[in-house]
């Protein structure tokens, strides 16, 4: 479900900028991965609580690398459009390592 009222414009811009370069943005649009940013679930866990928010891209990258090593599946980070932080996630097509 979409909750556009809760999205701050600056975070929307930052979220789409995080998908750059342009070639990557187009690839993520083609696969449908970029549109997941618009759904409230990109900010919430399955239990409805907010996901862990990392204060910088750098800390989110480090956490994603640790999670990938721990779980054996590729995790990425993304700029949340609902809050000022970055979250971790895996795409539907997550590659098992």
pLDDT digits (tens, 9 = 90+) for 28-55: 666 666 555 666 667 788 888 999 999 9
The verdict on residue 15 lying in a domain is: yes
Please tell me the total count of domains within the chain.
1
The verdict on residue 94 lying in a domain is: no
Domain span holding position 36: 4-89
For residue 59, give the 3-state DSSP assignment.
Answer: helix
20-38: b (≥16 Cβ within 10 Å) or e: eeeeeeeebeeeebbeebb
pLDDT at 1: 45
The verdict on residue 48 lying in a domain is: yes
The verdict on residue 28 lying in a domain is: yes
pLDDT digits (tens, 9 = 90+) for 64-97: 999 999 999 889 888 888 888 999 988 666 556 5
The verdict on residue 42 lying in a domain is: yes
The verdict on residue 44 lying in a domain is: yes
């Amino acid at each position: 479900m979409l909750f556009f009222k809760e999205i701050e414009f600056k975070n929307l811009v930052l979220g789409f900028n995080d998908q750059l370069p342009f070639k990557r943005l187009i690839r993520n649009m083609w696969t449908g991965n970029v549109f997941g940013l618009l759904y409230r679930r990109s900010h919430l866990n399955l239990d409805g609580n907010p996901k862990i928010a990392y204060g910088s891209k750098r800390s989110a990258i480090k956490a994603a690398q640790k999670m990938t090593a721990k779980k054996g599946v590729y995790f990425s980070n993304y700029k949340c459009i609902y809050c000022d932080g970055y979250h971790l996630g895996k795409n539907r097509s997550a590659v098992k390592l």
